[in-house]
Structure 1
Amino acid sequence: MPETPLILQTVDLTKLFGMVMAANAINVEIRAGELVGIVGANGSGKTTFLNLITGYLTPDRGRILLLEKDRTGLPPREVTRLGIARSFQIPQLYTNLSVLDSLLLSLAARADKGTGFWRPLYQQPWVDEGLETLKRFGLEAYAHRLASDLPEGGRKLLDIALSLALRPKLLLMDEPTSGVSIKDKFQVMDTLIKVVEETRLTTVFVEHDMEVVQRYGRRVLAFDNGRVIADGTPNAVLADPEVRKAVLGRV
């Protein structure tokens, strides 16, 4: 049986900040349909890894292959055009726009068309798709309210909905439960993972909450000092003595 296509591959990916090795010869393969969690202590290289993939940082050495083609050094805009979407720890929202209008802008961007007098934002197919997307994320009640009115969990969901509106081939999420209350974090993740699995979207998420990683990751990478020190199932990785020492501070 043939292997599923490679969506992302890094080859000896390396990044230095002065004397600090933020990415140390990272070799990772992510295949279509995978749901991968990344864990590591602060400063272990998790966010640097995402920044390298998405073009916010340029590697000092190594290569980044997206959809099996070398895309090393591409700027963020070009990476996005290739179908790589990213959400951040702090949601990047149009807080002065309604929730629906925010989503319509993403749909217009996907169509690679601007808006204006001759191409209004409110085109019925976009509105229909926007409302359906909000329903999928449980945000339909906020459609005509400002994005700034959303609770923190809702902001996280909208941020990721904006990314999914682009119909990406790979979604990268940086700490999707960061800033979300303890009582809401699992509801947020349940919604996200349901959408990801329904759309069969290849997804990588960085997360500091080990309970979230163990519950939702299908595969886990553990980072320490810019290296991948473990790669496997959540139970196997989180039980690894080296991971427990590096990430949890105990064996």
Structure 2
Amino acid sequence: MKNTEMILRSKSLSKRFGGLTAVDDVSFEVTRLGVTSIIGPNGAGKSTLFNLLSGTFMADSGLVELDDQNITRMSPEGRLSCGMARSFQITNLFFDLSVIDNLRIASQALEPRSNLFLPLSKSTIAMDRANELLEEFGLLECRNQIVGALSHGQQRRLEIAVTLATRPKLLLLDEPTQGMSQGDTQDTAELIKRLGSKITVLLIEHDVDLVMDLSKTVIVMAQGKKLAEGIPSDVRANPLVQTAYFGEELA
């Protein structure tokens, strides 16, 4: 019987690189809608865990399930077709193309296979989706602007829009506010909060205060292991979490 509440499950997930165990027997579940965040110091295994969930790395042991389907050995493209999309720490866009062209290319997967070899001007489904995203992400004014000329904050916002082009049900965001100004960070936080009302967001983020404000569940990692999991107030008050690496930051 399908679990209607749970969308993603990690079961005893592990990954080793030579003698280093980067992810060590990590298990957790992500329920539908809202924001679930993974936090931890540098070297805690957060990005490796994301790579295992998204298919960039293959796990040495354990399972990844999306909507009760075992996707552990699927490629990133296979996981995308199942409804999982991911953004990266480093902006991954076509910098020499316009904003609308980036969105239209990303939306092309929505077109029927029979339209594959038609001119882009015939890709009406993709263009309609691109225009929706322009409006939703506040990018209408820079529609025809070359991506390389955008501010860092605009580029990060566009990258999230591109990631959502195929209407995934689960979005993995890897440090989306990295390098942003305080104003751009707050705008992005509001955007992520709005996204969480429509789809499920799994977030890696270094800004602890932002995480505590956005998340319904926080997972804490340290040295490749899951150290704690719970609602933000419980995690903030957890003495193990504070003693391990946060000190007064969560006090």
Pairwise same-fold verdict (TM > 0.5): yes
Q: 1:103 to 1:149 in 2, by over 3 A?
A: same
Structure 2: unaligned runs, 5 residues or longer = none
Contact 2:3–2:68 (8 Å) recurs in 1: no
Does 1:32 pair with 2:32? yes
Query: Where do residues 5-154 of structure 1 align in structure 2 (5 Å cutoff)?
Result: 5-111=5-111, 113=113, 118-121=118-121, 123-154=123-154
Count of residue correspondences = 248
Contact 2:153–2:184 (8 Å) recurs in 1: yes
**What is the distance in 2 between the residues matched to 1:239 and 1:83?**
34
Q: What is residue 241 of structure 2 aligned with on the other side?
A: 243
**What is the distance in 2 between the residues matched to 1:4 and 1:177?**
31
3-state SS of paired residue (1:155): helix
- Greater shift after overlay, 74-83 or 93-102? 74-83
3-state SS of paired residue (1:50): helix
Contact 2:110–2:125 (8 Å) recurs in 1: no
1:154-200 CA distance string (max 9 Å, x none):
11111110111111011000001001112321112112321332xx2
Q: What is residue 179 of structure 1 aligned with on the other side?
A: 179
- Greater shift after overlay, 5-14 or 81-90? 5-14
Alpha-carbon distance, 1:135 to partner: 1.3
Alpha-carbon distance, 1:42 to partner: 0.4
Alpha-carbon distance, 1:137 to partner: 0.7
Q: Structure 1: which amino acid aligns with 2:5?
A: P
3-state SS of paired residue (1:77): helix
- Greater shift after overlay, 119-128 or 19-28? 119-128
Q: Structure 1: which amino acid aligns with 2:167?
A: R
1:42-72 CA distance string (max 9 Å, x none):
0101111110011111111111111101111
- Greater shift after overlay, 116-125 or 7-16? 116-125
- Greater shift after overlay, 132-141 or 105-114? 105-114
**TM, length-normalised to structure 2:** 0.92
Q: What is residue 211 of structure 1 aligned with on the other side?
A: 209
3-state SS of paired residue (1:159): helix
